[in-house]
Amino acid sequence: MSQQSVRDRLVEIRRDLHRHPEPAWREFYTTARIVEELEGLGVDELHVGRDALAEDERMSVPGDDEIRAWYDDALDAGADPDILERLEGGYTGAVAVVEQGDGPTVALRVDIDGLLREESTDDDHVPAAEGFRSEREGAMHACGHDAHATIGLGVIDAIADTDFEGTLKVFFQPGEEMSAGGKPMAESEHIDDVDYLLAVHVGLDHATGEVIAGLDGFLAVSQLLAEFEGSPAHAGGQPNEGDNAIQAVTTAIQNLYAIPRHEDGATRINAGRIGGGTATNIIADEAFVEAEVRGETTELMEYMKARGTRTVENAAEMHGCEVEITTDSEAPSADSDDPLADLVGDVADGNDDVENVVERATLGGSEDAAYLMRAVQRNGGLAAYVGVGTDHPGGHHTATFDVDEASIPLGIDVLVDAIAEIADRRP
Amino acid sequence: MSQQSVRDRLVEIRRDLHRHPEPAWREFYTTARIVEELEGLGVDELHVGRDALAEDERMSVPGDDEIRAWYDDALDAGADPDILERLEGGYTGAVAVVEQGDGPTVALRVDIDGLLREESTDDDHVPAAEGFRSEREGAMHACGHDAHATIGLGVIDAIADTDFEGTLKVFFQPGEEMSAGGKPMAESEHIDDVDYLLAVHVGLDHATGEVIAGLDGFLAVSQLLAEFEGSPAHAGGQPNEGDNAIQAVTTAIQNLYAIPRHEDGATRINAGRIGGGTATNIIADEAFVEAEVRGETTELMEYMKARGTRTVENAAEMHGCEVEITTDSEAPSADSDDPLADLVGDVADGNDDVENVVERATLGGSEDAAYLMRAVQRNGGLAAYVGVGTDHPGGHHTATFDVDEASIPLGIDVLVDAIAEIADRRP
Amino acid sequence: MSQQSVRDRLVEIRRDLHRHPEPAWREFYTTARIVEELEGLGVDELHVGRDALAEDERMSVPGDDEIRAWYDDALDAGADPDILERLEGGYTGAVAVVEQGDGPTVALRVDIDGLLREESTDDDHVPAAEGFRSEREGAMHACGHDAHATIGLGVIDAIADTDFEGTLKVFFQPGEEMSAGGKPMAESEHIDDVDYLLAVHVGLDHATGEVIAGLDGFLAVSQLLAEFEGSPAHAGGQPNEGDNAIQAVTTAIQNLYAIPRHEDGATRINAGRIGGGTATNIIADEAFVEAEVRGETTELMEYMKARGTRTVENAAEMHGCEVEITTDSEAPSADSDDPLADLVGDVADGNDDVENVVERATLGGSEDAAYLMRAVQRNGGLAAYVGVGTDHPGGHHTATFDVDEASIPLGIDVLVDAIAEIADRRP
Amino acid sequence: MSQQSVRDRLVEIRRDLHRHPEPAWREFYTTARIVEELEGLGVDELHVGRDALAEDERMSVPGDDEIRAWYDDALDAGADPDILERLEGGYTGAVAVVEQGDGPTVALRVDIDGLLREESTDDDHVPAAEGFRSEREGAMHACGHDAHATIGLGVIDAIADTDFEGTLKVFFQPGEEMSAGGKPMAESEHIDDVDYLLAVHVGLDHATGEVIAGLDGFLAVSQLLAEFEGSPAHAGGQPNEGDNAIQAVTTAIQNLYAIPRHEDGATRINAGRIGGGTATNIIADEAFVEAEVRGETTELMEYMKARGTRTVENAAEMHGCEVEITTDSEAPSADSDDPLADLVGDVADGNDDVENVVERATLGGSEDAAYLMRAVQRNGGLAAYVGVGTDHPGGHHTATFDVDEASIPLGIDVLVDAIAEIADRRP
């Protein structure tokens, strides 16, 4: 274990993770580094990989070759081979448990995955200028999960110095960006005894010094892949012989966007990625669309999904094509509980470094933390999704996203105080 | 030069070319092998690469890296480095001239390029079974141009034994599949003095032993790439902020297929390849469609192109996107001249190995031989596009396409006889 | 004037109005009957037709012939010719003023127009069974405005018996169904001195005995007519010569429904009526769509309108057509003010015939009462939209809609008490 | 019977018919006038109404009220009541037979119906200037069928003066414009013994003095009505509750136009008339499209029809709607027989008033004369469709269409000579 305590190395840890962004079920280097630190911290229980997950519930798992390639990259980058072995097959993530006296079980959920997008090389972009830009071409921590993982470690490190009495569990969750990892963690036994759950996200267009006590308005989401298969034909010679998969997919998309609004609340639809065909002179026999539907409630998402499915199937049939629809991933909606969010707001108000507390805000997008929040709420517990402001030059998911590292210790302080207060106040 | 004459090595040459299929402006190995043989045959003039083309007229030229990679592959495969040097920068193809007394200039055009598609590995597929399957993964001679090039060499070899009096020019044309090479050869000075032009194609669903004296109904074609650029936005959080390139491209495609039929004759439209977007939760800021339009006449193709352009531009504007439209390649329509086709029919009728002569047939697709045919016709000459039947198990452009090698010498015989008869009869 | 007081003839008046349903700017019989009753009641001021409106602000005014035909029908049905003369040109509606001591000016807005739809002839349908079904074929009071007008008269009749001190104004508004009459009344001088405004609607899926103290969630709405003009051509002979207005309108509609949802709240789009073309063998040179857009706020409606306009214009241009877009009518959004709605709730709670008070509910649709509400609110006054439950067998706007006449006196009681209480409490 | 012979009154007859244009199955005045003249001419057999048709084969028959209204108009206009009675129920048209010695049966087919379109009132428009403009508002002889009927009468009148030996039958066919009358005449027993059939059309962009010996390229046609039924809903309040018939019909139309072209020849598609919906704020539960498909052959038309049906059905299902598809009318393709067309060309060549003979031309559109031509050809007979040029200021089917009356006697002459020559030459 490293000689210096975690709190002195927060920036170093975050930058190390930033250099090694890894997408869903490929967080090998990331998990290995987290586990290494957790072992150094000497937690009471440490569940790694398969042991941290309901393994059958993994979604959007990539192919074996893909998993192997990232595994090897992690090895090359210096990840501990013994830890890596425990992640074989793409079972990433970890759950750490600290027992500190008699009291409630309070959980913190942080996500750890990166995004498949190129990071900026601009001189203005701090990671580029200061040498910790992504070393994985085409991948990037563009949503601050490097900071989240660091906060998770920092909270474990710091809790020992408080008078917290109870059990602290930290979920280092893989695959948030693809709504892939929340469900397997929520379905694992680790969630069963959690009384209170805090999830955390940095940024979200809030500046350093701001805290959002409770985020709501997670849209339920379902991501679908529709693959159309028709028959090819020469576009000049036998145009009538083809069953045109591109006509099918375009008819589907035009009508997907036209699914009626719903009286019960907000819905969303996006055909985010398309592809198909081989050459201009061949009628395309294959085409696909990857789309997502969302709803303010899970029911609204299901409405969109049912209409979308009907649309896609009839578009295929109209053009003589077959279509296979698969659900890539899904996440429900969720809300922060008032008593827990209020408590976080009170704690933040009492922190001198916090300049502004926003009581409640709306997330707008989707988050598979919703799985864990709902699991806790279903068991009678409380959950809140907390925002920690950070100055970020580019927007989330853009090439110039970066976090203000000053927000990392601030986030740790607020969360640690909140965890201690929860055990005290039992809201 | 090889010891054996070309006529004894027709199968060997064809199989060597078959093993090295190369697409437009990457026919390095192919051109080098052809030039090597031509040098062996001792032609009177030999124009290679830049010297065979109006170099500014090349269309669909790939990027430098791509060109370099195929160049290196050709070198590795044993192509003559001295010849390769003359093809630097992707100037492939050759024109060979044989002067044999006083008489008309008769030209033969053969195309030499392969296709970007995987060749079958089935045991039933002769090239796989007999060990001359493509050695270039993802490329294949799936349209018989390996046979065409071989026929071109065979005709030069054989013409010496005839009483042909005149000049024979053989155009070994690159890039037919992408309509990329016909125009630069038609615009070169080599076409200027041609009195008669024959072009040749094997197969076309005609069996070995059949000859089609004149093919017509080449559709004029134009291949277009439309690249849409909008603005990205988070599909859950700010759906209204995006300018959706995928909505633009699907609106365009739906309406492209709906361009009205034309009273003056056949038209075609195909959106053969699409792509766009990055992730389901991002409104796509980029999308493209590669499409082609055709017409029974060049005017009809232009009608389709004008309507298509208007459609694409308004689809972009409708969805707040910019669009850039580029013409990848284009070929006009053309018809075989009756007197020349009749002469070919007569010659074929007189050949004992020819079992059936089809006077005229319709091609249905497009062919950039049309550029050369029109150039000759514009100069007052005659042109005919001749079909040489060959049993082919799979259809053109499919993974199991192959030619019956018995049709190669038969094609050479008919063409050589026709060339001699042309000089005689001067139709 | 009639011998019996209005309160004894509520059912008779309502049924008379029910027999003569009249749409926007054609409420001749209706206005004449209302004015006749008002004259009988001896109000202090009575503004009729042009005098009740900002006349330039009328929307959706029908053609002269149409207006004349309804005028003549009213005359034939026995409407007072002298009153009718004051409505010449389709200036319908009235404002009645009762001065009853020193105090605030309280206004009540009731709408008086019918719908263009056939009324049921079923025996189960009370108006058919009891002989007061619509005498105007193709028109019907299918939304209860006959009851509204009756309530307006009843309130004026009853206010005299209360200790109300102040001025009561009742706006008998024409053309609500087409969002046509609210604006001209809101822009007239009669609104300027109003301190409190109540608007009233019966039914809305609430049973007799229920009162909704304040309705909110009026969606801002804009109704648009897009008329496309292309060029005709024979569909068999010259399909390419036409500029197809039907292709233009269908492209527009497909893309109208696909206008993205908005992060700021609910939006709506509906292409409610289409038409075009003359014969199957002619390419249509004319087509139209009547559509509406809505938004939770006026800004959201404007967003939809701007996107819709862009969509329509580009669809026209894509198909070589011209398009003219006209705004048929428009209404903003509005909300009930809490203090006024609370007061209505209190009064309703204290009424023994009221079985249930709903504090607040959402309207879902649009209402041009919003114009009057916003005008009062802009002047510093308060407004509330009150619902009076009524058992209605068929839904609003259906052929079997009818009101439970018992809800008419109940609505009058609650409104009269509320008006008196307003003057007292001055919320 | 009239004192003057038909040949002296050709212009008078034509103008009388022109004043009374009547559409399919409503040609009461027209048939009565024709029958009156035929009775005056004293033909050998005269089959009227039901007796002239296979009555079950009538297509596009209007409703009883509609038929009755036109019947009454004919009566008012002075048609013979006794003849009218024989046309009761909309059984219009007639077949006249002249027996003139031993020889082949030669038939002439002329169509007699008008179009539903407003005639021009311009001073330049001869019928308006000279007082024989349509007296039926909204109907017009805009395709010259008034001239055709007159030619039919003139041919019968003139044949007596020739040495024609054989039987002449003239089919005065109703409902050509709607492809409604050809089939019932072709399925009647009157066609069975016809050896030679001539059909005739004036104009077609050929000037007075031109004769087209044989027209070909009749496109087979099928006219379809697709009626969509969904469920209504309030567009503001319950947008998700509706099943939107307008979305269904627009999706159908967009994809109908996009049915792929066919390798075997020309196809056509046109959605010529649309309608649907009731109000902007109601999701439309009803919408329709009237469309037609055509093909160069009957098979090609069937291809379009099959694809169109699949398209319409899936569009309905995609939007939760039912759809009923009915075939309004249909006509096959047909070609003129060479020997008969050649004979007509020879005869026309020999006529001094004919300035130009066009051997063959293409019709482009559809014609239900094809039914009669195919019936004769199926029985081993010959058929030709003959064009008689006429200067026409406006195009066919436009408000200013008119015929040059000088072409009527010229057409009669050519046809009479051809009929005599047929009996002579028996081609």
Q: How far apart are CA B192 and CA B150, in angstroms?
A: 25
Residues of B in Cβ contact (< 8 Å) with D268: 261
H/E element, C394: none
Q: How far apart are CA A321 and CA A244, in angstroms?
A: 7
Q: Which residue of C has its CA nearest to B234?
A: C263
Q: Which residues contact D120 (CB under 8 A, 6 or more apart)?
A: D128, D133, D394, D399, D400
Interface of A with B in 62-121 (CB under 8 A): 117
Q: What is the mean pLDDT of residues B137-164?
A: 96
- The DSSP bridge partners found for residue A292 are A223, A270
Contact between chains at A318 and D320 (C-beta distance less than 8 A): no
Per-residue pLDDT, D160:
93
Facing residue for B273 by CB, picked from A234, A279, A397: A279
* Contact yes or no for C201/C374 (Cβ under 8 A): no
Residues of A in Cβ contact (< 8 Å) with C263: 364
Best CA proximity match to D125, nearest among D393, D397, D398: D393
Q: How far apart are CA B155 and CA C149, in angstroms?
A: 99
Facing residue for D235 by CB, picked from C246, C270, C277: C270
Contact between chains at A263 and D314 (C-beta distance less than 8 A): no
Best CA proximity match to C236, nearest among B297, D397, B309, B221: D397
Facing residue for B246 by CB, picked from A274, A281, A284: A274
pLDDT digits (tens, 9 = 90+) for B241-284: 999 999 999 999 999 999 999 999 999 999 999 999 988 989 99
Facing residue for B238 by CB, picked from C240, C255, C263: C263
Q: Which residue of A has its CA nearest to C293?
A: A261
- The residue whose two tokens read 């709504």 is A179
Interface of B with C in 223-252 (CB under 8 A): 237-242, 244, 247, 251
Q: Which residue of B has its CA nearest to D293?
A: B261
Q: Which chains reach chain B with 3 or more Cβ–Cβ distances below 8 angstroms?
A: A, C, D
Per-residue pLDDT, C1:
37
The mean pLDDT value of chain B amounts to 95
Facing residue for C272 by CB, picked from D116, D279, D363: D279
Planar angle of CA C14, C20, C26, nearest 5 degrees: 120
Go through the domains of chain D in sequence order and give each one's CATH number.
3-218+334-425 (3.40.630.10), 220-331 (3.30.70.360)
Contact between chains at C310 and B317 (C-beta distance less than 8 A): yes
Q: Percentage of chain A surpassing pLDDT 90?
A: 89
> Does the structure show a pLDDT above 70 at B2?
no
Q: How far apart are CA C114 and CA C73, in angstroms?
A: 15
Contact between chains at C261 and B242 (C-beta distance less than 8 A): no
Per-residue pLDDT, A288:
97
Q: Which residue of B has its CA nearest to C241?
A: B262
Q: Which residue of C has its CA nearest to B244?
A: C260
Q: Percentage of chain D surpassing pLDDT 70?
A: 99
Predicted confidence band at C55 (pLDDT cuts at 50, 70, 90)? confident
Closest-CA distance, B421 to chain C, in angstroms, reads: 45
Facing residue for A247 by CB, picked from D258, D261, D263: D258
Contact between chains at D303 and A244 (C-beta distance less than 8 A): no
* CA dihedral of B387, B388, B393, B394, whole degrees rounded to 10: -30
Residues of C in Cβ contact (< 8 Å) with B283: 260
A396 touching B (Cβ < 8 Å): yes
> Does the structure show a pLDDT above 80 at C100?
yes
Q: How far apart are CA A355 and CA B364, in angstroms?
A: 74
Q: How far apart are CA D244 and CA D239, in angstroms?
A: 9
A266 touching B (Cβ < 8 Å): no
Residues of D in Cβ contact (< 8 Å) with A238: 263
Q: Best interface-test mutation with B: which of C314, C321, C323 has the largest number of B CBs within 10 A?
A: C314
Q: Percentage of chain C surpassing pLDDT 90?
A: 89
* Contact yes or no for C233/C253 (Cβ under 8 A): no
Q: Which residue of D has its CA nearest to A283?
A: D260
C377 touching A (Cβ < 8 Å): no
Contact between chains at C397 and D282 (C-beta distance less than 8 A): yes
Range of lowest pLDDT (A103-107, B362-366, C366-370, D100-104)? B362-366
> Does the structure show a pLDDT above 60 at C3?
no
D257 touching A (Cβ < 8 Å): no
DSSP state of A152: H
Joined together, the tokens standing for residue A17 give 């993770």
Per-residue pLDDT of chain A (427 residues; tens, 9 = 90+): 344 788 899 999 999 999 999 999 999 999 999 999 999 999 999 999 999 999 899 988 999 999 999 999 999 999 999 999 999 999 999 999 999 999 999 999 999 999 998 999 999 999 999 999 999 999 999 999 999 999 999 999 999 999 999 999 999 999 999 889 999 999 999 999 999 999 999 999 999 999 999 998 789 999 999 999 999 998 988 999 999 999 999 999 999 999 999 999 999 999 999 999 988 989 999 999 999 999 999 999 999 999 999 999 999 999 999 999 998 788 999 999 999 999 999 999 999 999 999 999 888 778 999 999 999 999 999 999 999 999 999 889 889 999 999 999 999 999 999 999 999 999 9
Q: What is the mean pLDDT of residues C164-177?
A: 97
- Within its chain, how far is the Cα of C3 from the centroid? 31
Per-residue pLDDT, A2:
43
Facing residue for C266 by CB, picked from A254, A258, A261: A261
Specify the 3-state DSSP secondary structure of B362. Answer: strand
Largest alpha-carbon pair distance within chain C? Answer: 80
pLDDT digits (tens, 9 = 90+) for D233-270: 989 889 999 999 999 999 999 999 999 999 999 999 99
Candidate ranges A353-362, D9-18, D58-67; pick with highest mean pLDDT: D9-18
Contact between chains at C262 and B240 (C-beta distance less than 8 A): yes
Q: Which chains reach chain D with 3 or more Cβ–Cβ distances below 8 angstroms?
A: A, B, C
- The alpha carbons of chain A give a radius of gyration, in whole angstroms, of 23
* Contact yes or no for D419/D106 (Cβ under 8 A): yes
Closest-CA distance, C67 to chain D, in angstroms, reads: 20
Closest-CA distance, B270 to chain D, in angstroms, reads: 9
The mean pLDDT value of chain D amounts to 95
Q: What is the mean pLDDT of residues C393-411?
A: 94
Q: Which residue of A has its CA nearest to D236?
A: A263
Facing residue for C235 by CB, picked from D268, D280, D328: D268
Task: Give the number of beta-carbon pairs within 8 Å between A and D.
Answer: 64
Closest-CA distance, B255 to chain D, in angstroms, reads: 7
Q: Percentage of chain D surpassing pLDDT 90?
A: 89
Specify the 3-state DSSP secondary structure of A307. Answer: helix
Facing residue for D235 by CB, picked from C239, C246, C268: C268
Predicted confidence band at D1 (pLDDT cuts at 50, 70, 90)? very low
B143 φ, ψ (degrees, to nearest 5)? -140, 10
Contact between chains at B365 and A294 (C-beta distance less than 8 A): no
Best CA proximity match to A397, nearest among A215, A272, A289: A272
Contact between chains at A272 and B249 (C-beta distance less than 8 A): no
Residues of A in Cβ contact (< 8 Å) with B248: none
Strands, sheet with B94-100, edge to edge from the N-terminal-most edge strand: B45-48, B94-100, B166-173, B105-111, B196-202, B382-388, B210-216, B356-362
Q: Which residue of C has its CA nearest to D117?
A: C278
Per-residue pLDDT, A363:
80
Q: Which residue of B has its CA nearest to D263?
A: B364
A383 φ, ψ (degrees, to nearest 5)? -140, 150
Interface of A with B in 290-309 (CB under 8 A): 290-292, 294
Q: Which residue of B has its CA nearest to C312?
A: B318
B263 touching D (Cβ < 8 Å): yes
pLDDT digits (tens, 9 = 90+) for D292-304: 999 999 999 999 9
Facing residue for B266 by CB, picked from D258, D260, D261: D261
Q: For residue C130, count CB atoms less than 10 angstroms from its CB and return exposed for 0-12, middle for 13-18, buried for 19 or more.
A: exposed
Facing residue for C258 by CB, picked from A254, A267, A268: A254
Per-residue pLDDT, B6:
87
Q: Best interface-test mutation with D: which of A228, A243, A244, A314 has the largest number of D CBs within 10 A?
A: A314
Q: Which residue of D has its CA nearest to B265?
A: D266
Closest-CA distance, C258 to chain B, in angstroms, reads: 9
pLDDT digits (tens, 9 = 90+) for C360-401: 988 877 899 999 999 999 999 999 999 999 999 988 988 999
Facing residue for B258 by CB, picked from C247, C261, C320: C247
Structure-model confidence comparison of residues C328 and A100, the more confident one: A100
